[in-house]
């Protein structure tokens, strides 16, 4: 496994940066300290620095040679609203906030690549180092795109990566085409007529209607999605009433939908609206549906996926790159950028550090993976923008 020698030399510094970010987690669009740290280091390396892209995002620019070819390398910066349950010396100092998904590691890997590329300039063109805010369901990718990211910082192709617990350090995994599900959140407000709990005949019970809607929604996947396709509709909350002896006026159903095409997502929404209105109407109630697409499906461009897999294979050996990774029902808003530019998203091995999955209060990013991620980011730029 051949990580870049120069990056291996400052591995200890990468570890220090990562642990500092881990100790000071910030939620989406609140990454002021993290953004400042990133901007300061990029400036120290010799990059042009642009702050406030998509509110708290940062972009660094490196130029070498005369070519106008360009590449984008992206990492996410935000943390999760989780109380950390570790005894690490660098555990979160911000109560209720935690880097439980490894964005501290992703940010550090891209900073490591930036430092190396700034020192060596072994490329001919423009590298845009994109540090995205608010990946965890708040729309940071969409915000950067809406802030004219690609008009201001052109990218012929764009690449990102995410750590994968359980995949050994030094290994990578990717697939061509749809790779991660699109995600939507929904709220269904069911309105009936309140009544005394002892006199249900005088009211219209929204709790009963909501319960039947929650069951009926499961038929969207079982009876409207082709068996060869993949989708999930999950009701995760039902809220109604505050008293034991009162039938409430209103009940609210909340949940999430996941699938791999925008067409399937549109079908899920249409059927959800039909079922909610129809079932509620059968009980004499009404239902209003709010359906919000949070993440489009993440689709890896075929040429870009081959390219990043080839670069990874040159780095760690072909046997350590799985080019046929499994579909993931989790979502990732790097998808907003991949809808605008060809590119690919790869999984990097995080080993068994922490002994758990991401979004767990016991999770920690594996610092042994840092030089592998930094090396891959750097090699992508050098290969894509190879001189002459």
Residue 148's domain is classified under what CATH number?
A: 3.40.630.10
Burial 337-355 (b: 16+ CB within 10 A, else e): bbbebbbbbbbbbbbebbe
* Least-confidence region, from 28-32, 75-79, 278-282, 355-359: 355-359
SS (H, E, C) 18-30: HHHHHHCCCCCCC
Unique residue bearing structure tokens 């767990």: 360
- State the pLDDT at residue 1: 52
Q: Are residues 28 and 165 in the same domain?
A: yes
Percent of the chain with pLDDT over 70: 99
Q: Are residues 290 and 302 in the same domain?
A: no
What is the tens place of the pLDDT at every residue in 42-64?
A: 999 999 999 999 999 999 999 99
Are the CB atoms for 350 and 102 separated by under 8 Å?
A: yes
**2-14: average pLDDT:** 95
- State the pLDDT at residue 240: 98
Q: How many angstroms separate the CA atoms of 156 and 141, rounded?
A: 18
Predicted TM-score (pTM) of the model is 0.92
Q: Is the pLDDT of residue 355 over 80?
A: no
- State the pLDDT at residue 161: 98
Of 295, 323, 340, the residue that ends a domain is 295
Band of residue 311 on the pLDDT scale cut at 50, 70, 90: very high
Total domains, the chain: 2
Are the CB atoms for 371 and 62 separated by under 8 Å?
A: no
Q: Are residues 278 and 302 in the same domain?
A: no
Of 230, 262, 295, the residue that ends a domain is 295
Q: How many angstroms separate the CA atoms of 340 and 348, rounded?
A: 24
Q: Are residues 160 and 84 in the same domain?
A: yes
Q: What is the DSSP letter of 169?
A: T
**Across the chain, what does the average pLDDT equal?**
97
Q: Are residues 145 and 271 in the same domain?
A: no
Q: Are residues 25 and 156 in the same domain?
A: yes
Q: Say how many C-beta atoms besides its own lie within 10 A of residue 387's C-beta.
A: 13
Higher-scoring residue by pLDDT: 23, 137: 23
Q: How many angstroms separate the CA atoms of 154 and 128, rounded?
A: 8
Distances from the Cα of 21 to the Cαs of 25, 92, 130, 148, 367, in angstroms?
6, 9, 17, 27, 13
Q: Are residues 359 and 334 in the same domain?
A: yes
Q: Are residues 125 and 152 in the same domain?
A: yes
- State the pLDDT at residue 388: 78
Q: Are residues 116 and 206 in the same domain?
A: no
**327-332: average pLDDT:** 93
Q: Are residues 71 and 193 in the same domain?
A: no
| 103-120 helix and 11-23 helix, angle to the nearest 10 degrees | 140
Q: Is the pLDDT of residue 354 over 80?
A: no
What is the tens place of the pLDDT at every residue in 251-306?
A: 999 999 999 999 999 999 999 999 999 999 999 999 999 999 999 999 999 999 99
Strand-pair category, 250-259 with 231-240: antiparallel
Of 266, 295, 324, the residue that ends a domain is 295
Q: How many angstroms separate the CA atoms of 53 and 181, rounded?
A: 26
Q: Are residues 227 and 258 in the same domain?
A: yes
Widest CA span in the chain? 83
CATH code of residue 280: 3.30.70.360
* Range of the structural domain that residue 277 is part of: 182-295
Percent of the chain with pLDDT over 90: 97
Q: Are residues 56 and 157 in the same domain?
A: yes
Band of residue 2 on the pLDDT scale cut at 50, 70, 90: confident
């Amino acid at each position: 496994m051949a990580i870049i020698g120069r990056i291996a030399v400052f591995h200890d510094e990468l570890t220090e940066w990562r642990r500092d970010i881990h100790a000071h987690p910030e939620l989406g669009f609140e990454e002021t300290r993290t953004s400042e740290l990133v901007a300061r280091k990029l400036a120290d390396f010799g990059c042009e620095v642009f702050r406030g892209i998509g509110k708290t995002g940062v972009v660094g620019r490196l130029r070498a040679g005369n070519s106008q070819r360009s590449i984008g390398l992206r990492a996410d910066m935000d943390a999760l609203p989780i109380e950390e349950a570790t005894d690490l010396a660098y555990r979160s100092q911000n109560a209720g906030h935690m880097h439980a998904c490894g964005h501290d590691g992703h940010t550090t890997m891209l900073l490591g690549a930036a430092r190396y590329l700034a020192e060596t300039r072994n490329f001919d063109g423009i590298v845009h180092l994109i540090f995205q805010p608010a990946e965890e369901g708040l729309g940071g990718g969409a915000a950067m795109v809406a802030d004219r990211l690609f008009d201001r910082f052109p990218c012929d192709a764009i690449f990102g990566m995410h750590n994968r617990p359980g995949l050994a350090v030094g290994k990578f995994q990717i697939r061509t085409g749809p790779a991660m599900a699109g995600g939507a959140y929904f709220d269904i407000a069911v309105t009936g007529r309140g009544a005394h709990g002892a006199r249900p005949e005088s009211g219209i019970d929204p709790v009963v209607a909501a319960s039947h809607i929650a069951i009926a929604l499961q038929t969207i996947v079982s009876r409207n999605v082709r068996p060869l396709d993949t989708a999930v509709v999950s009701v995760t909350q039902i809220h109604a009433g505050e008293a034991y002896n009162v039938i409430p006026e209103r009940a609210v159903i909340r949940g999430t939908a996941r699938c791999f095409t925008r067409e399937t997502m549109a079908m899920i929404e249409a059927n959800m609206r039909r079922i909610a209105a129809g079932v509620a109407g059968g009980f004499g109630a009404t239902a209003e549906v709010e359906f919000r697409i949070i993440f489009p499906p993440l689709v890896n461009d075929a040429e870009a996926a081959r390219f990043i897999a080839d670069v990874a294979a040159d780095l760690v050996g072909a046997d350590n790159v799985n080019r046929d990774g499994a579909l993931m029902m989790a979502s990732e808003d790097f998808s907003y950028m991949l809808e605008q530019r060809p590119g690919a998203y790869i999984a990097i091995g995080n080993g068994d550090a922490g002994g758990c999955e991401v979004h767990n209060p016991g999770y920690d990013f594996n610092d042994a993976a840092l030089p592998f991620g930094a090396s891959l980011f750097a090699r992508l730029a050098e290969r894509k923008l190879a001189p002459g």
